[in-house]
Amino acid sequence: MKYISTRGKSPVQSFSQVLLSGLGEDGGLMLPQTLPKITAAELSAWRALPYHALAHAVLSKFVATDDIDSATLAALTAASYTQEIFGTAEITPLRAIDAYASGMHIQALSNGPTLAFKDMAMQLLGRLFEFELGRRNATLNVLGATSGDTGSAAEYAMRGRKGVNVFMLSPAGRMSAFQRAQMYSLQDANIHNIAVDGVFDDCQDIVKAVSNDLEFKREHNIGTVNSINWGRISAQIVYYVRGYLAATTSNAQKVSFAVPSGNFGNILAGHIAREMGVPIDTLVLATNENNVLAEFFNSGVYRPRPSKETFATSSPSMDISKASNFERFVFHLFNADAERVAAMWREVDQGRSFDVSLTPEFKGLRERFGIVAGTSTHAHRLATIREVHEKTGGLIDTHTADAVHVARALVKPGTPMIALETALPVKFAETVKEATGIDPPLTAEQHAMMALPLRVVQISPDVERVKAIIANH
């Protein structure tokens, strides 16, 4: 299994190389040269597997055995997906919310250490990094940008690990109180929090700029853990397979997924699962008011927006107006035409948009890839959280509510609709309380965390300043 760049001008790489390097040398994103397939016989055999063994089976399709041997991969997945870390033996349990909408389910992806779905991939990534760095006798400076949840998931996965330092950029004042406390209260010496005066996209642009400085990147051994990291995407494919198997008893059945989306990382994994042969009917892409992705899927125009047009919303982990992972999907949409993708992203990188509305590829998109997109607003979020609570007695978080809201109109009789729960309500307690009057209770441990001193430096959006902070450590 080899990886190629969406822009066609990087040497091919192995899984472990892609894992540590992030972006291709040409600024593109790395993707498998050909997508592996999942056969019906495999799907049937996988029905009986525990989550960690399913993860091993799926990931084995993306990792050559002469790159990481199968026994090592099995040990790393077994250590990552445990009841201790994820709270239940099922790891991502499915629950029906028929009383809210017939056929609607919620798949819990947020029972890991930081209460958001980012843990699903990051727990494995931390172990993969430690393994890789150990056998290369190397160290890695992980540089990341977060809208809130990636950062804490990365920090909790990497804290105290040998050979890894984490430098995490976050948008100052744009995260919930719980998110801030969760990240900035970590006291581990290998964790560095940097709050940037700006929005998530400013943070992401700094990461890209540092990663594109090949000399600095090599000298300081910079790696990334953003959703552009292929290791994360591959680990996320697993829960789509699990969700499908949990909602069905035969491979003749189909399911749909509803995915709260910002950077297009989560739903990209669903797209790849579908391309690999998992019987997925529709992939529902839900955005919040920052609806650049919904706009594309409904119009064929991709119009990333500058930071001043990026709203601060009550589903802040999706306050993204330039979706890093989207380039991978466009590469598939245009049948691996790297030159065309490179030309489109020359426009995007200049702050411009592109319009593919008249192409046959865009016209055939919905039929070929099953993606349907919609937007949810603060009012929808509140109404959905309230109604789900009234009808089922359970609480959902704001991002999950965006998915549930958009999906509700798209449920087809006989096809389970699985909304991915990307965070727990306690992480976005302010809005959950606004919707229901209920303050999601904190555990004693979470209560103590909220009172800890914060360890963070605040800077203006300045690439050189970030390089200096990395060089000084």
Ligand X SMILES: *Cc1c(COP(=O)(O)O)cnc(C)c1O
- Contact residues for ligand X (CB under 6 A)? 116, 118, 149, 227, 260-266, 317-318, 399, 422-423
Q: For residues 220 and 428, which CB has a smaller minimum distance to ligand X in the complex?
A: 428
**Cα gap 242→231, rounded to integer Å:** 18
Q: How far is the CB of 93 from ligand X (least distance, A)?
A: 18
Q: For residues 217 and 232, which CB has a smaller minimum distance to ligand X in the complex?
A: 232
- Find where tokens 């990663």 sit: 211
Q: How many angstroms separate the Cα of 354 from the Cα of each of 48, 149, 345? A: 45, 29, 9
Q: Considering only CA atoms, which of 464, 427, 467, 433 is closest in space to residue 449?
A: 427
Burial 228-248 (b: 16+ CB within 10 A, else e): bbbbbbbbbbbbbbbbbbbbb
Sheet holding 457-459, edge to edge: 222-224, 140-145, 164-171, 191-196, 457-459
Partners of 95 in the β-ladder: 106
**Residue 304 CA, distance from chain mean position:** 19
Structure tokens at 294: 């919904």
Hey, is 261 helix, strand or coil? coil
Structure tokens at 77: 């997945």
Structure tokens at 350: 């200049």
Active-site annotation holds for 2? no
Helix, strand, coil distribution of the chain in percent, nearest 5: 45, 15, 40
Q: For residues 185 and 263, which CB has a smaller minimum distance to ligand X in the complex?
A: 263
Burial 398-431 (b: 16+ CB within 10 A, else e): bbbbbbbbbbbeebeeebbbbbbbbbbbbbbbeb
Q: Considering only CA atoms, which of 325, 277, 317, 283 is closest in space to residue 431?
A: 317
Q: For residues 6 and 315, which CB has a smaller minimum distance to ligand X in the complex?
A: 315
Q: How far is the CB of 399 from ligand X (least distance, A)?
A: 4
- Find where tokens 């090599």 sit: 218
Q: How far is the CB of 236 from ligand X (least distance, A)?
A: 8
Q: For residues 185 and 321, which CB has a smaller minimum distance to ligand X in the complex?
A: 321
Q: How far is the CB of 140 from ligand X (least distance, A)?
A: 22
Q: Considering only CA atoms, which of 304, 154, 195, 214 is closest in space to residue 27?
A: 214
Q: How far is the CB of 404 from ligand X (least distance, A)?
A: 12
Q: For residues 145 and 423, which CB has a smaller minimum distance to ligand X in the complex?
A: 423
Radius of gyration of the chain from its Cα atoms, rounded to whole angstroms: 21
Q: How far is the CB of 66 from ligand X (least distance, A)?
A: 31
DSSP state of 116: B
Q: How far is the CB of 263 from ligand X (least distance, A)?
A: 3
Q: For residues 243 and 251, which CB has a smaller minimum distance to ligand X in the complex?
A: 243
∠86-56-139 over CA atoms, to 5°? 80
- Which is catalytic among the residues 37, 61, 118, 208? 118
Residues acting as catalytic residues:
118
